[in-house]
Structure 1
Amino acid sequence: MSSWKYQHAQKYFKQRAELYDVKYIPKGAEELSRIMIQKAEIKEGDFVLDFATGTGFQAVQIAYAVGEKGRVLGLDISDAMLREAEVKIKRLGLDNVIKLRRMQSENIPLEDNSVDAVICGFAYHHFPDPCRVTAEMFRVLKHNRKAVAVDGCRPEHPFKKLVADLSAKVSDRTWHIRFYTEKEFREFFEGSGFEEVHTWCFYQTHCLLYPFVMIEGTKPSA
């Protein structure tokens, strides 16, 4: 990530971190989290990467799934968001399972083939280079295991696409927001080497402007 975008990301999330769970996490996120964990086939004792962990909302759900014998690593670029996550994790008594780490680029500080699952919730629209991010997820994932992501999805319908694009232009988030189509998400995963790639595109009643997309992919055998 360029220094300019990194600085803006720090500023953007610093302004929102304290109230992020209340104001910015989409409604229905807890149910989506459970579905992601199920699709990633996360089980007790697994080591799971929560990429772009934010305030740790997703990491907490994963921690309950892996149990005391498992591990969760939450990565994020925002100091402010990680501070909120740390407070939450300690309050819930999960600091023995969840570890947090700040990163300054798309490079994931883990060895090849080292994690049992990768989860990435509501973050792809922040990534300057989603292809590189997906390739890194693929690299650190063990063979025959899964990565699952969910995010807003750029609509395919011409009118909905126009309205959504105009909305983005008048928002305060245009410096980092770039929603991708369902087809682009498939290209990110398949282009990085994932197989058995599946996508689900759906709307939620509170947000009819942008649909959501969930995508899963499996890292094939060596």
Structure 2
Amino acid sequence: MGAESKHSHVHDVFESIAPKYDMMNDILSFRRHKAWRSFTMKKMDVKPGQVSLDLCCGTCDWTIALAKASGGRTVGLDFSANMLNMGQVKVDRLGLSSQIELVQGDAMDLPFPDNTFDYVTIGFGLRNVPDIAQVLREMKRVVKPGGKVVCLELSKPSWQPFKGLYYFYFEKLLPLLGKWLVRKYEQYRWLPESLAVFPDLAALAEMFRGVGLRNVRAYPLTGGIAALHIGTKGNDGA
């Protein structure tokens, strides 16, 4: 699948599954995604007043967590209007609309100046972009010197028998669950396909280093079914 066709396909997938996205996240992550995000926030150690950009923000759970942690300006960006609409409902319900700005845009071409944010995050979205390195370059560009680029994403466990069970779940059972629960078999078949070609924990850490991020740390989560990567932009801006 070429970059343009992948971009279009992924957009259609997420536009269509937006109403059931939160429920399916529980299923997709074995109900662990909230614990993974809590671990990530502890490692990030967000300080009061810091500004954050959350890419592929979906229905804005992580965007909201960042805003609550800092009390500062927080931007959520996604290319799916339906996802952003779902997120805006949450933001409004929590009374955070003056603090959180939601933007429809492309993670590969961010509409922000260089050196703008203390943190740039992407949660469960990097495997869906047409060009991972380009997104990482854009994340590094808009983060401030000394700021952090953070990715929380599904990954690939390496030890058996868990590895075999994991791939059976993702390749066979997950699309059927999508069909049964939200009548979206083709859309949920995309998720294991996207993971199959995604870099493993070590390879993604090398991609972080390859775009110039420093002090790259990688943490396997829940037996390696997910991973947290954190890289820092040099204080010299390089």
Give the TM-score of the pair, scaled to structure 1.
0.86
Residues of 2 paired with 1:149 and 1:123: CA distance? Answer: 9
1:158 CA displacement: 7.8
Q: Aligned pair in 2 of structure 1 residues 75, 217: CA closer, same or farther (>3 Å)?
A: same
Tell me the amino acid that sits aligned with residue 210 of structure 2: G
Structure-2 residue corresponding to 1:203: 222
* Equivalent position of 2:212 in the other structure: 193
Would you say 1:217 and 2:218 are equivalent positions? no
**Distance in 1, Cα, partners of 2:110 & 2:45:** 21
Say whether residues 1:50 and 2:54 are aligned partners: yes
What 5-or-longer segments of structure 1 have no aligned partner? 205-209
Counterpart Cα distance in 2 of 1:149 and 1:169: 23
Q: Structure 1 residues 162, 34: closer, same or farther in 2, change over 3 A?
A: closer
Q: Which residue of 2 aligns with 1:11?
A: 12
Deviation at 1:105, TM superposition (A): 5.2
SS in 2 for 1:144: strand
Q: Equivalents in 2 of 1:30, 1:165: separation in Å?
A: 22
Kindly indicate whether residue 39 of structure 2 is the aligned counterpart of residue 38 of structure 1. Answer: no
Contact kept, 8 Å, 2:7 with 2:129, in 1: the verdict is: no
Distance 1:151 1:93, change over 3 A: same
Deviations 1:115-165 (A, max 9, x none): 011121112221221111111111111111212211111233487666656
Does the 8 Å contact 2:57/2:77 carry over to 1?
Answer: yes
Name the one with the larger strand percent.
1
How far apart are the structure 1 equivalents of 2:53 and 2:129?
A: 17
**What pairs with 1:73-222 in structure 2 (closer than 5 Å)?**
73-104=75-106, 106-157=108-159, 171=175, 172-173=189-190, 176-177=194-195, 178-203=197-222, 211-222=225-236
What is the letter of the counterpart of residue 5 of structure 1?
K
Distance 1:202 1:30 in 2: 12
Task: For 2:220, give the aligned amino acid.
Answer: C
Structure 1 stretches (4+) deviating beyond 6 angstroms?
A: none
| Gap change, CA 1:21 and 1:166, over 3 Å in 2 | closer
* Range with bigger deviation, 140-149 or 5-14: 5-14
Deviation at 1:31, TM superposition (A): 2.8
Query: Match of 2:198, SS?
Result: coil
Which residue of the partner structure matches residue 23 of structure 2? 22
Distance 1:83 1:75 in 2: 12
Residues 83-113 of structure 1, C-alpha deviations (whole Å, 9 max, x = no match): 1011111111111111111114511111111
Give me the CA root mean square deviation: 2.3
Q: Distance in 2 between matches of 1:160 and 1:34?
A: 24
| Mapped partners of 1:34, 1:132: distance in 2 | 27
Distance 1:105 1:124, change over 3 A: closer
